[in-house]
Structures are given as structure tokens and as C-alpha cells.
Amino acid sequence: MSKAVVLLSGGLDSTTVLAYALSQGYEVIPLTVGYGQRHSRELDSARSVVRHYGLRQHIVMDLDLSFLRGSALTSKEVEVPLHDSPEGIGDEIPVTYVPARNIILLSLAAGLCETEGGDAIFIGANAIDFSGYPDCRPEFFEAYEKVLQVGTKAGVEGRPIRVEAPILRMSKAEIVRLGTELKAPLHLTWSCYNGGEKACGHCDSCLLRLKGFRDNDLQDPVPYEDRA
């Protein structure tokens, strides 16, 4: 059985990708990174998702990126933007962008994948209904695969690690549909940029998630303070 490392944040997208990797027959090693984000709710969700699937291995690590100042996700001095509709999301790179986050996370995943003799890294990046992050675009992943080809032992020996982004070109509605079809535990996931007992319903992530469920005529199973 082929092995794959799945970057699991605990959100809708990464959980759907985990379900997809399992459906493709991979032995999955989830990797969850606490990077100094505003809250730990995502990390709790990731653990719940792993328990749901009964996976024997789950790597959870802390790597505080809060020194990368200026992002609303790693600095409580920067407010998370709130909106009433998803219109315009992704037109500009927002203040929730964390510099080089996916470069860092993919590098950690690549090291783990090579150590475990894995074939692929799965990541829940999306370039359709997304916040506009530059490290969620197809050209970024194409370039990063080339880095792995020349910068790892596996790559130099002709066994390059693949970067799989199966939902990269899907709308949020398509992602919700895929997760539902795969019976992914979407009720355990957390996407809101703000912490709390309930999702805020007005940050970019909440608005895109709600739109995805609404476009499928489905009710998002997680609780919200206000469903915009």
C-alpha cells in the first residue's frame, strides 16, 4: 500500500482531501501544524477527524510563525475582516495571508513523507473559491514539485514526491459535494478564522464555506453565531 502525508488543518477542505486520499487506497499519515494561529479550534477538529477514521498515526507539531507579523491569523493586533457576502473575496491578497505558510508546511510534509517512504503529499488548497493567497495557485504547486525533484534524496534518485491538490480547481460547492459523497465527517470540521464556541459566519472562510453548502441545498452542520 502506498503511503501519503496529508496536511490536515481540521477544516472543510483538508478533511475532504483526507477522505479522498483514503478513498484512493493510501495509507495516510495526517500532519497537523500549530503555527501560532489565533485559536486552537482547528487543531481540536483535526484530532477529532483522525479519531473518526481510527488512524493509527497523527503527527501534531508546534511551529510558531507569529514572528511573521502583519497577518490577522497569527497576530491578534490585526483584525480579521468581516463581510456580509462572499462577493469580492479573492480579488486581492487579504490580511489573513501568512507569509510563506504553504512553503513551510509543504517542506515539513516532504521531510515526513521522505522519512516514511511515502509517494505523495496531499494538501487541501483551492484556487477557485478562495481568499486569494498566492501559495494556493496551480503555478505554485507546479514550481514546488520541481523543488522536490531536485532538493530531496527521493527526487534525485528518480522517486520524486508528488504534491496532490485534488480540490485545487473545484468550487466550494463541488468540495462540499465531494466531502458529502465520501462521507467525510464535515460536522467535526472548523473553518472560521475566529475562535469561539460558534463560527462567526462573516469572515472570508465562513462565507465561502456557507456558500458551498447553500449551493448544494445543504445545511452546514457546524454552529454559527450568524449565518450571513
Grid cell at residue 153: 534524496
- pLDDT score for 165: 97
pTM score: 0.95
Q: How far is CA 59 from CA 35, 100, 121, 201, 207, in A?
A: 14, 21, 14, 30, 30
Which residues of the chain carry a pLDDT beneath 70? 90, 228
**β-strands 162-164, 27-34 pairing:** unpaired
3 state DSSP class of 4 = strand
The residue type at 94: P
- pLDDT score for 228: 66
Strand partners, 61: 33
Helical spans, DSSP H, in the chain: 12-23, 41-53, 101-116, 138-151, 153-156, 172-181, 204-214
- pLDDT score for 210: 96
Exposure string over 36-69, b if 16+ CB within 10 A, otherwise e: bbbeebbbebbbbbbeebebeebeeeeeebeebe
Q: How far is CA 54 from CA 22, 126, 182, in A?
A: 12, 27, 16
- pLDDT score for 60: 97
The domains found in the chain, sorted by start residue, are 3-214 (3.40.50.620)
